[in-house]
C-alpha cells in the first residue's frame, strides 16, 4: 500500500489523468471511448517520432562540432543566424514537441537563445507543409501576408527573449547541478590540475571551459569537489 501511495505521489499528473478516464468510463463511457482513441493515436505518433528525434539529438551532440554551431547560429551569427534558423524550422517535420530535445541539444552546443526561439517558432507556425495546406484552403495572398507578419513577429520576439534571458538561467540537466562559486574560489589550481579538460584559470579564479562534457568526467568531478579547499565547486548528481 505504501509503495502504491508513493508511486501516486511521484506521478500526480498521470494519476489524475487515469482518475479522470476511470470517472468518464463510469459516467460517460461514449466520451471515454473517444478520448482513449485520441490518446492512443497521439501515443502511436510519439512512438514513431521520438526515436527519430533521439537520433537527431545524438547526431548534433556527437558529430557536429560545437564551433560549427556557434559560427552558424551562435551569439555572433547575427542576421545570418536568424535566416538559417528560420530555414531550419521551416523545413522541419513532425509535431512541435519533437523540437524541444533538438533545441536543448543546440543550446548545449552553443546556439544562441534567440536562434533557438526562431527554430521553435518557425517549426510551430511557418513550416512548409503547413504553408502548403494554408494556400490550398485560404489562398496564396492570405498565406504570404500571414507569413511576412509572422516572421517579423518571430524575429522581434527572438531578439527580445535573447536580451532578457541568459543561457545560465535555463535549466539543463548537468549545468544546473554544476557550478563554480567565484566568490569562494581561492585560485588553488587543484581543479585545473585534476581536470584540465574542464577547468582553466582566468586571472585568479577557476572557470569551466567545457560544461557540455560533464557526463564524461562524473567520478573525477566528485573527487575534485571533495578536494576543493574552499568548497567553491558545487557538483550534484
pLDDT, average across residues 188-193:
91
Q: Which of 121, 154, 169 is the last residue of a domain?
A: 169
Contact between 130 and 81 (Cβ < 8 Å): no
Residue 33 located in a structural domain: yes
Q: By three-state DSSP, how is residue 204 classified?
A: coil
**Does one domain contain both 70 and 154?**
yes
**Does one domain contain both 38 and 131?**
no
Counted residue by residue, the chain has a size of 237
**Does one domain contain both 150 and 187?**
no
User: What's the pLDDT tens digit per position in 41-91?
Assistant: 877 877 877 777 778 777 777 788 888 898 999 988 999 999 999 999 999
Residue 1 located in a structural domain: no
**Does one domain contain both 92 and 159?**
yes
**Does one domain contain both 69 and 165?**
yes
Residue 130 located in a structural domain: yes
Measured CA to CA, the distance from residue 52 to residue 98 in angstroms comes to 9
**Does one domain contain both 116 and 160?**
yes
Instruction: Determine phi and psi for 233, rounding to 5 degrees.
Output: -95, 125
Measured CA to CA, the distance from residue 198 to residue 209 in angstroms comes to 5
The pLDDT value recorded for residue 9 is: 67
Q: For residue 55, give its domain range.
A: 13-59
Which of 118, 105, 126 has its CA nearest to residue 159? 118
User: What's the pLDDT tens digit per position in 128-150?
Assistant: 988 999 999 999 999 999 999 99
Q: Which of 136, 169, 202 is the last residue of a domain?
A: 169
Higher pLDDT, residue 59 or 8: 59
Segment (H or E) for 205: strand 205-208
**Does one domain contain both 130 and 72?**
yes
Say how many domains are in the chain: 3
pLDDT, average across residues 20-49:
83
The pLDDT value recorded for residue 158 is: 95
**Does one domain contain both 27 and 104?**
no
CATH number for the domain harbouring residue 221: 3.30.70.20
**Ramachandran quadrant class, 178 (left: phi over 0; alpha: psi -120 to 50; beta: rest):** beta
Residue 22 located in a structural domain: yes
Q: Which of 118, 142, 169 is the last residue of a domain?
A: 169
The pLDDT value recorded for residue 210 is: 67
Residue 7 located in a structural domain: no
List % helix, strand, coil for the chain (3-state, nearest 5). Answer: 70, 5, 20
**Does one domain contain both 138 and 208?**
no
The pLDDT value recorded for residue 2 is: 44
Residue 4 located in a structural domain: no
**Does one domain contain both 163 and 181?**
no
Where helices occur in 11-64 by DSSP H, the ranges are 12-27, 29-62
Task: Give the pLDDT band (50/70/90) at residue 170.
Answer: low
* pTM of the full structure: 0.63
Amino acid at each position: 500500500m505504501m509503495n502504491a501511495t508513493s508511486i501516486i505521489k511521484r506521478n500526480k499528473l498521470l494519476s489524475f489523468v487515469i482518475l479522470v478516464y476511470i470517472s468518464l468510463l463510469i459516467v460517460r463511457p461514449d466520451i471515454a471511448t473517444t478520448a482513449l482513441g485520441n490518446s492512443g493515436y497521439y501515443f502511436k505518433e510519439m512512438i514513431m517520432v521520438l526515436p527519430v528525434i533521439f537520433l537527431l539529438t545524438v547526431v548534433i551532440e556527437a558529430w557536429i562540432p560545437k564551433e560549427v554551431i556557434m559560427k552558424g547560429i551562435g551569439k555572433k551569427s547575427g542576421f545570418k543566424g536568424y535566416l538559417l534558423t528560420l530555414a531550419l524550422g521551416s523545413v522541419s517535420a513532425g509535431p512541435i514537441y519533437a523540437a524541444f530535445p533538438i533545441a536543448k541539444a543546440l543550446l548545449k552546443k552553443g546556439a544562441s537563445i534567440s536562434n533557438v526561439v526562431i527554430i521553435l517558432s518557425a517549426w510551430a507556425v511557418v513550416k512548409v507543409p503547413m504553408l502548403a495546406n494554408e494556400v490550398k484552403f485560404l489562398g496564396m495572398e492570405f498565406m504570404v501576408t500571414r507569413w511576412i507578419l509572422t516572421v517579423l513577429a518571430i524575429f522581434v520576439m527572438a531578439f527580445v527573449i535573447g536580451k532578457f534571458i541568459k543561457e545560465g538561467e535555463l535549466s539543463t540537466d548537468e549545468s544546473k547541478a554544476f557550478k563554480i562559486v567565484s566568490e569562494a574560489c581561492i585560485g588553488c589550481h587543484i581543479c585545473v590540475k585534476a581536470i584540465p579538460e574542464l577547468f582553466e584559470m582566468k586571472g585568479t579564479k577557476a572557470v569551466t571551459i567545457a560544461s557540455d562534457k560533464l557526463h564524461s568526467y562524473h567520478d573525477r568531478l566528485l573527487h575534485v569537489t571533495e578536494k576543493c579547499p574552499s568548497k567553491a565547486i558545487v557538483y550534484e548528481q
